[in-house]
Amino acid sequence: MKVAIIMGSDSDWPVVEPAAQVLAGFGITTEVIVASAHRTPDKVHVFASEAREKGIEVIIAAAGAAAHLGGVIAAYTTLPVIGIPINSTSLNGLDSLLSIVQMPAGIPVATMAVNGAKNAGIFAVQIMSGKYPQLIEGLADYRKKMADEVEAKAVKLSTQLSK
Protein backbone atom coordinates (compact mmCIF):
# COMPACT_ATOMS: atom_id res chain seq x y z
CA MET A 1 0.00 0.00 0.00
CA LYS A 2 1.60 3.21 -1.14
CA VAL A 3 0.50 6.85 -1.48
CA ALA A 4 2.58 9.66 -2.95
CA ILE A 5 2.46 13.09 -1.40
CA ILE A 6 3.75 15.76 -3.74
CA MET A 7 3.99 19.44 -2.91
CA GLY A 8 5.08 22.48 -4.83
CA SER A 9 7.55 23.63 -2.18
CA ASP A 10 9.22 22.26 0.93
CA SER A 11 7.57 25.14 2.82
CA ASP A 12 4.25 23.27 2.32
CA TRP A 13 5.42 20.35 4.48
CA PRO A 14 4.10 21.67 7.84
CA VAL A 15 0.63 21.90 6.25
CA VAL A 16 0.89 18.54 4.45
CA GLU A 17 2.50 16.48 7.21
CA PRO A 18 -0.84 15.52 8.85
CA ALA A 19 -1.70 13.53 5.71
CA ALA A 20 1.52 11.54 6.09
CA GLN A 21 0.77 10.99 9.78
CA VAL A 22 -2.73 9.67 9.02
CA LEU A 23 -1.39 7.33 6.33
CA ALA A 24 1.35 6.03 8.63
CA GLY A 25 -1.28 5.35 11.29
CA PHE A 26 -3.00 3.02 8.83
CA GLY A 27 0.26 1.32 7.84
CA ILE A 28 0.39 2.94 4.42
CA THR A 29 3.79 3.79 3.00
CA THR A 30 4.26 7.31 1.66
CA GLU A 31 6.63 8.69 -0.90
CA VAL A 32 7.15 12.44 -0.47
CA ILE A 33 8.17 14.54 -3.46
CA VAL A 34 8.80 18.25 -3.90
CA ALA A 35 8.13 19.38 -7.46
CA SER A 36 6.48 22.40 -9.00
CA ALA A 37 4.06 22.32 -11.92
CA HIS A 38 5.52 25.64 -13.04
CA ARG A 39 9.19 25.53 -12.02
CA THR A 40 9.94 21.81 -12.59
CA PRO A 41 7.30 20.65 -15.08
CA ASP A 42 9.48 17.88 -16.51
CA LYS A 43 9.97 16.37 -13.04
CA VAL A 44 6.20 16.47 -12.44
CA HIS A 45 5.54 14.84 -15.80
CA VAL A 46 8.00 12.00 -15.17
CA PHE A 47 6.68 11.46 -11.64
CA ALA A 48 3.03 11.29 -12.73
CA SER A 49 3.75 9.12 -15.75
CA GLU A 50 5.72 6.57 -13.71
CA ALA A 51 3.71 6.62 -10.46
CA ARG A 52 1.59 3.53 -11.16
CA GLU A 53 4.67 1.52 -12.19
CA LYS A 54 6.29 2.48 -8.86
CA GLY A 55 3.37 0.97 -6.94
CA ILE A 56 1.69 4.23 -6.04
CA GLU A 57 -2.08 3.86 -5.73
CA VAL A 58 -3.23 7.37 -4.79
CA ILE A 59 -1.53 10.74 -5.20
CA ILE A 60 -2.03 13.66 -2.81
CA ALA A 61 -0.93 16.93 -4.41
CA ALA A 62 -0.60 20.10 -2.35
CA ALA A 63 0.01 23.50 -3.86
CA GLY A 64 -0.54 27.16 -3.17
CA ALA A 65 -1.20 30.24 -5.31
CA ALA A 66 -2.03 29.13 -8.87
CA ALA A 67 -2.04 25.51 -7.57
CA HIS A 68 -1.91 23.68 -10.89
CA LEU A 69 0.08 20.75 -9.49
CA GLY A 70 -2.81 18.35 -8.93
CA GLY A 71 -4.34 19.10 -12.31
CA VAL A 72 -1.07 18.64 -14.18
CA ILE A 73 -0.52 15.33 -12.40
CA ALA A 74 -4.08 14.20 -13.17
CA ALA A 75 -3.43 14.95 -16.84
CA TYR A 76 -0.57 12.42 -16.89
CA THR A 77 -2.05 9.57 -14.81
CA THR A 78 -5.29 7.68 -14.29
CA LEU A 79 -4.55 7.24 -10.58
CA PRO A 80 -6.84 9.09 -8.16
CA VAL A 81 -5.46 12.54 -7.34
CA ILE A 82 -6.44 14.41 -4.19
CA GLY A 83 -5.68 18.13 -4.14
CA ILE A 84 -4.88 20.14 -1.04
CA PRO A 85 -5.10 23.89 -1.61
CA ILE A 86 -2.46 25.66 0.49
CA ASN A 87 -3.04 29.04 2.08
CA SER A 88 0.11 30.74 0.84
CA THR A 89 -0.96 34.13 -0.51
CA SER A 90 -2.85 37.22 0.58
CA LEU A 91 -6.00 35.56 -0.78
CA ASN A 92 -5.99 33.10 2.17
CA GLY A 93 -5.98 30.03 -0.08
CA LEU A 94 -9.01 30.99 -2.15
CA ASP A 95 -6.84 31.20 -5.27
CA SER A 96 -5.47 27.72 -4.57
CA LEU A 97 -8.92 26.30 -3.85
CA LEU A 98 -10.38 27.63 -7.08
CA SER A 99 -7.37 26.46 -9.12
CA ILE A 100 -7.82 22.89 -7.85
CA VAL A 101 -11.60 22.60 -7.69
CA GLN A 102 -12.26 24.07 -11.15
CA MET A 103 -10.78 21.20 -13.17
CA PRO A 104 -12.16 20.67 -16.67
CA ALA A 105 -14.52 17.75 -17.28
CA GLY A 106 -12.67 14.49 -17.77
CA ILE A 107 -9.62 15.29 -15.61
CA PRO A 108 -10.93 15.18 -12.01
CA VAL A 109 -9.02 16.11 -8.90
CA ALA A 110 -10.74 15.49 -5.56
CA THR A 111 -10.39 18.73 -3.63
CA MET A 112 -10.03 19.05 0.13
CA ALA A 113 -10.49 22.17 2.23
CA VAL A 114 -7.76 24.79 2.28
CA ASN A 115 -4.91 23.26 4.33
CA GLY A 116 -7.06 20.10 4.63
CA ALA A 117 -4.23 17.56 4.69
CA LYS A 118 -5.70 15.36 7.41
CA ASN A 119 -8.85 14.79 5.36
CA ALA A 120 -6.71 14.12 2.29
CA GLY A 121 -4.98 11.31 4.18
CA ILE A 122 -8.29 9.88 5.40
CA PHE A 123 -9.79 10.11 1.91
CA ALA A 124 -6.79 8.26 0.46
CA VAL A 125 -7.37 5.50 3.02
CA GLN A 126 -11.05 5.36 2.06
CA ILE A 127 -10.14 5.03 -1.62
CA MET A 128 -7.68 2.25 -0.87
CA SER A 129 -10.15 0.40 1.38
CA GLY A 130 -11.85 -0.90 -1.76
CA LYS A 131 -8.72 -2.93 -2.51
CA TYR A 132 -7.54 -3.53 1.07
CA PRO A 133 -10.48 -4.64 3.27
CA GLN A 134 -8.36 -4.43 6.44
CA LEU A 135 -8.51 -0.65 6.08
CA ILE A 136 -12.30 -0.73 6.54
CA GLU A 137 -11.97 -1.87 10.14
CA GLY A 138 -9.21 0.67 10.73
CA LEU A 139 -11.45 3.46 9.42
CA ALA A 140 -14.28 2.35 11.72
CA ASP A 141 -11.87 2.32 14.68
CA TYR A 142 -10.57 5.77 13.69
CA ARG A 143 -14.10 7.21 13.69
CA LYS A 144 -14.94 5.54 16.99
CA LYS A 145 -11.80 7.03 18.54
CA MET A 146 -12.82 10.49 17.31
CA ALA A 147 -16.32 10.06 18.76
CA ASP A 148 -14.88 8.86 22.08
CA GLU A 149 -12.59 11.92 22.20
CA VAL A 150 -15.56 14.24 21.63
CA GLU A 151 -17.51 12.52 24.41
CA ALA A 152 -14.56 12.75 26.80
CA LYS A 153 -14.23 16.47 26.09
CA ALA A 154 -17.96 16.96 26.65
CA VAL A 155 -17.77 15.21 30.04
CA LYS A 156 -14.71 17.24 31.02
CA LEU A 157 -16.38 20.53 30.10
CA SER A 158 -19.63 19.56 31.82
CA THR A 159 -17.67 18.68 34.98
CA GLN A 160 -15.81 22.01 34.90
CA LEU A 161 -19.00 24.01 34.39
CA SER A 162 -20.85 22.26 37.21
CA LYS A 163 -18.24 23.26 39.82
Domain count, the chain: 2
Taking only the tens place, the pLDDT of each residue in 128-149 is 999 999 999 999 999 999 999 9
pTM exceeds cut of 0.75: yes
CB 86 within 8 Å of CB 12: yes
Q: What is the per-residue pLDDT for 106? A: 94
Residue range of the domain that includes 137:
133-163
CB 108 within 8 Å of CB 71: no
Same structural domain, 42 and 64: yes
CB 129 within 8 Å of CB 33: no
Average pLDDT, the chain: 96
Same structural domain, 75 and 40: yes
Q: Does pLDDT of 65 surpass 90?
A: no
Same structural domain, 91 and 11: yes
Same structural domain, 113 and 51: yes
* Antiparallel, parallel or unpaired: β 58-64 and 29-34: unpaired
Q: What is the per-residue pLDDT for 150? A: 96
Q: What is the per-residue pLDDT for 93? A: 92
Same structural domain, 18 and 67: yes
